[in-house]
Amino acid sequence: MVMKHSRPGLPALALLAAGLTATPALADTLAPHGEILNIAHRGASGHAPEETMPAYDKAVELNADWLELDAQLTADGHLVAFHDESVDRTTNAEGPLSDYTLDELQALDAGTWFNEANPYRADPAFEGVSVPTLKQIVETHGTDQKYYIEIKSPDANPGLTEKLVKFVEKHGLVESDSIVIQSFPQEPLKRVHEMNPDIPLVQLVWYHPKGYEAGAPLKEWKAVTPAPGEITQADLAKIDDYAIGIGTNMHYKDRRVIDEAFVNSVREAGLGLHVYTIDSIAKMHRLIDWGATGIFTNFPDRLSAAHDVR
Ligand code: G3P
Ligand code: CA
């Protein structure tokens, strides 16, 4: 479900005139006609163990527009959906993900931790659930479903970008307008376009105080942009050269790092603005009112509800 919000968006033709690559997925991805995209962060990961089939099944059931996932590689080179570089937090084992073959990884229990951490949302069906491959997710949900895939920890996953591009091509996700690839570092995104310029890209950014001190000026993690208050149209035009949008945090701890003026600047540059990771309905309302074009949420149902009262 692509939800309409109260602010008009930029007409698609204006975006094209602004120099965006006319990829088939452009309209759906940017939500250019006053819409906001419901992006299920690690699946509906507020309801089920993150990046497992139950989380992706639940996201589809809740009508999320996009299934967000973090692509990494097993020791024997299989693409899997997994966030951390180690298996410690979300499985019953320890150590770097990259030490595990697919068979070893899929023997782990990636669900019981969720039941222990979320007793009010626990479900016995989550016990023993395994880490899925990207192939399992896409073959289950098909090419009508949209996938918002992050190149996660590229330094820990050599060859990931190339494998991911070949995967999305092989599974027909480009032709079906069902893919966005996202990354914090710019280099993997540029590598994607060297291989296939038709794949829509989103540049992730993360703003935090310099030195992580509460009142310090803001900086961007990978120096992709200046601080939000200092960003210019020239800065944004550099991102517009290769990406269709920006994915940003809204807060660093209790400090808000973006504002309505930032949203307006990004949209004026012809870029989509997708904000992670928002589970508060009050914050969803604020972002909808500012004109954000997408929200990553662990609770796609909350975003639907937030939209319904706007
Ligand atoms: O990909 C957007 C958002 O998911 C980035 O943060 O740490 O959840 O991958 P993370
Ligand atoms: Ca992610």
Write out pLDDT tens, residues 67-113: 999 999 999 999 999 999 999 999 999 999 999 999 999 999 999 99
Write out pLDDT tens, residues 48-70: 999 999 999 999 999 999 999 99
- 141 classed as catalytic: no
Whole-number Cα distances in Å, 203 to 9, 146, 229: 20, 18, 18
Angle between helices 260-268 and 281-290 (to 10 degrees): 50
User: Could you tell me the pTM of the whole model?
Assistant: 0.91
- Which of 5, 41, 47, 307 is an active site residue? 41
Which protein residues have a CB closer than 5 Å to ligand 2 (ion)? Answer: 70, 150
For the chain, how many structural domains are there in total?
1
Confidence class for position 263, pLDDT limits 50, 70, 90: very high
Residue 105: count other Cβ atoms within 10 Å of its Cβ: 23
Write out pLDDT tens, residues 175-210: 999 999 999 999 999 999 999 999 999 999 999 999
**Going by CA atoms, what residue is nearest to atom 6 of ligand 1?**
276
Whether residue 199 is contained in a domain is answered as: yes
Among 15-19, 34-38, 54-58, the range scoring the smallest mean pLDDT is 15-19
Whether residue 182 is contained in a domain is answered as: yes
- Residues in Cβ contact with 54 at an 8 Å cutoff, skipping those fewer than 6 apart: 43, 48, 111, 123, 125, 126, 129
Dihedral sign, Cα of residue 72, residue 77, residue 79, residue 80:
negative
- 83 classed as catalytic: yes
Whether residue 288 is contained in a domain is answered as: yes
Strand pairing class (66-73; 218-220): unpaired
Domain boundaries, position 303:
3-84+134-308
Q: What is the three-class DSSP state of 11?
A: coil
**Model confidence at 7: pLDDT above 60:** no
Whether residue 295 is contained in a domain is answered as: yes
**Can you give the pLDDT at residue 114?**
98
Q: Which listed ligand is nearest to 277 at the C-alpha?
A: 1
Whether residue 181 is contained in a domain is answered as: yes
Residues with CB under 6 A from ligand 1: 41, 68, 70, 83, 150, 182, 204, 247, 276-277, 296
Whether residue 89 is contained in a domain is answered as: no
**Going by CA atoms, what residue is nearest to atom 10 of ligand 1?**
83
Whether residue 119 is contained in a domain is answered as: no
Whether residue 300 is contained in a domain is answered as: yes
Tell me, in angstroms, the distance from the centre of ligand 2 to residue 155's CA.
Answer: 16
Closest ligand 1 atom to 277 CA: 3
CATH number of the structural domain spanning residue 184: 3.20.20.190
Confidence class for position 35, pLDDT limits 50, 70, 90: confident
